[in-house]
Structure 1
Amino acid sequence: MPPTPRPLRKLGFLTIGLFDEADPRRGHESTLDLITLGERLGFDSAWLRHRHLQYGISSPVAVLAAATQRTSRIQLGTAVVPLGWENPLRLAEDLATVDLLSGGRLNPGFSVGRPTHYEHVRGALYPDTGDHEDFGHRRAERLLALVRGEDASDFAGTEGIEVYSRRVQPHSPGLADRLWYGAGSLRSARWAGEHGLNLLTSSVVKPEPGESAADFATIQAEQIRAFRALHPAGERARVSQGLVVVPTDSATPEQRAKYEAYALARTPRTLAPQGPGGLLFAPDLVGTSEELAERLRAHAGYQEVDEVAFALPFTFEHQDYVQILTDLATRLGPALGWSPLV
């Protein structure tokens, strides 16, 4: 097994938090139970995906607020909040509030771009300004400035019994250092580096023109190196990888068959570029921890990181996630050189 130049330092997991429309509380409670399990197993972080008008968590910041009251150590993140759905000022207030409730454990990840199915939701989301909204990096720069404590208003002082502040309140001083950007393209990775953010990579990359023949892992590694080349911290800049990784060490034969069928059904999308952007998807990794560790160590993108937030598959049962998380923490993590925080 070839050694990786960056021993695994931090192990996290990512979940979408699916629920039944007829019983949404049960799905949210399941997600909270997985986060508390993750803390008991020694995971460094737990991350929530963001889904609007779907049967997955639409308000991860609210769910993480609940998680702050059930945990004491594990880092809590969003991967990622699509800023096209958000007002940066209101989001900055929510993020600072939850960070304070957590004792400084919130790791907000975000991205930019037009909301999914924008033509169908614009009338409800931006009925008066839909044609004028900026969904590019300037929207992210507004959030950065507000979280960092720059002025949101040109008025401060007392009016009657009301006291007003120029900057977002509450202000959480360390939060700005724990902001992450979800990038899948070289341009976005460079932007994140230039702005001093942490970088979230996932199982999707967008090749540059002329890179269509390159493989997923090579492109991801190049994006990570480009990010660090422009980041003030250089090689010390934080990057987390988020592949779908499913260990089967303690799985039942039925679970193993389910996991393998899930990965097989998703394999066709990994064989050729997808959509008008020519997106490349990484294969889901399923196998024993020994097999997975070997495959990860040979992955060019993984070789560039010392933090991961492995993504849980979308449609499994709670007991499946318990098995997967347990094997990640007790089998795969140690096989990669990681030690749990307990």
Structure 2
Amino acid sequence: MKKIGFLSFGHWTPAEGSMVRTASDALLQSIELAVAAEEVGADGAYFRVHHFARQLASPFPLLAAAAARTSRIELGTAVIDMRYENPLYMAEDAGAADLISARRLQLGISRGSPEQVIDGYRYFGYVPADGTSDADMAREHTAVFLDVLGGEGFAQPNPRPMFPNPPGLLRVEPHSPGLRDRIWWGAGTRATAEWTAQQGMNLMSSTLLTEDTGVPFHQLQAEQIQRFRSAWTEAGHEREPRVSVSRSIFPIVSDLDRRLFWRDTHSTDQVGFLEGGNARFGKTYAGEPDKLIAELAEDEAVAAADTLLLTVPNQLGVDYNAHVIESVVTELAPALGWR
């Protein structure tokens, strides 16, 4: 069975027509959408992290709050920008949220994407070492984070502590066993997917790849997934990895659906220029259910992935997005053999 979740960027704006007008709206409605998604049979609630933006930013309070309101679905990020993170503090927050959720966290992390301010991570106190890049710094933070999640002690205990210590070196607490295996890397290229496998992280791939070979997006992404799995096997990891892809999918089953998404019924891939190189963006799937079933059956990357994240227009509100998720889960998924 293919797991199906939603991915929200958590936009909020007081603009006309927006049902998410404040940061409070974005946070509270994110929790309500996680509850609604569980009720309609979805498998996951994932949230994008952007700093200095009118979007969701600090993920762990949100994940913990959603965990307290749900009991079954996975709760995750897609993705946390590791350039901004203190790895030890992040391990504490992640461990606590994972224990609150009864080990349902699935944390997507990455180098991050273009942000709202120039070198925003510098305002958070992080500067790449001389001769290195911000991407190098993100990977350094990631290496520390993954190592700490392993649960081995590394800190010398105080010989005269306030409270008794267990024997040996101390680790970051709280520790949540198994969380290390539920870390995903948001890879934008085939080479990065191979690196992800070598590090023993799951692969998270979105509707954007920062390279272009001239083939359709879904085929390029399917090659990325194949390279990831081959590199995983070569690395000799014992467990089976997971792979997620993101898609914008809008079944048109009502007049409101048609008014909102008729312009996307003929969507195609787009090729653009991002951060100094070519990039390929995947198309939006919008149309009558029979049309979408036929189109999605031809999507090689969706077929190759075990997890599908539905990117939702969160500013349309909880009820509408729950309707979209339910349409995919109950109408499209069974016809495609995902359920």
Question: Structure 2 length as normaliser, TM-score?
Answer: 0.86
Is the 1:83–1:110 contact (alpha carbons within 8 Å) kept by the matching residues of 2? yes
**Are 1:200 and 2:199 counterparts?**
no
Is the 1:193–1:227 contact (alpha carbons within 8 Å) kept by the matching residues of 2? yes
CA distance in 1, matches of 2:129, 2:23: 34
Secondary structure at the counterpart of residue 73 of structure 1? coil
Is the 2:85–2:141 contact (alpha carbons within 8 Å) kept by the matching residues of 1? no
Decide which moves more: 82-91 or 296-305. Answer: 296-305
The residue aligned with 2:285 is 285
Match of 1:176 among 177, 180, 183: 180
The C-alpha deviation readout for 1:244-271, integer Å capped at 9, x for no partner, is 111222x3x233221233x479x58x43
| Mapping of residues 29-178 of structure 1, within 5 Å | 29-113=28-112, 116-117=115-116, 119=118, 121=120, 124-126=123-125, 129=127, 134-153=136-155, 155-163=156-164, 166-178=170-182
Is the 1:156–1:163 contact (alpha carbons within 8 Å) kept by the matching residues of 2? no
Name the aligned partner's letter for residue 11 of structure 2: L
CA distance in 2, matches of 1:116, 1:151: 35
Distance 1:331 1:135, change over 3 A: same
Q: 1:141, CA displacement in angstroms? A: 1.2
Paired residue total? 322
The residue aligned with 1:14 is 7
Q: 1:135, CA displacement in angstroms? A: 2.4
The C-alpha deviation readout for 1:190-223, integer Å capped at 9, x for no partner, is 011111211111101122xxx5322211210111
The residue aligned with 1:187 is 191
CA distance in 2, matches of 1:44, 1:330: 13
Gaps of 5+ in 1: 1-7
The residue aligned with 2:259 is 257
CA distance in 1, matches of 2:216, 2:152: 41
CA distance in 2, matches of 1:308, 1:296: 12
Is the 2:80–2:110 contact (alpha carbons within 8 Å) kept by the matching residues of 1? yes
Is the 2:82–2:138 contact (alpha carbons within 8 Å) kept by the matching residues of 1? no
CA distance in 1, matches of 2:226, 2:119: 38
Q: 1:10, CA displacement in angstroms? A: 1.3
Name the aligned partner's letter for residue 10 of structure 2: G
Name the aligned partner's letter for residue 12 of structure 1: G
Secondary structure at the counterpart of residue 229 of structure 1? helix
Question: Structure 1 length as normaliser, TM-score?
Answer: 0.85
Q: 1:323, CA displacement in angstroms? A: 1.6
Is the 1:12–1:46 contact (alpha carbons within 8 Å) kept by the matching residues of 2? yes
Is the 1:61–1:78 contact (alpha carbons within 8 Å) kept by the matching residues of 2? no
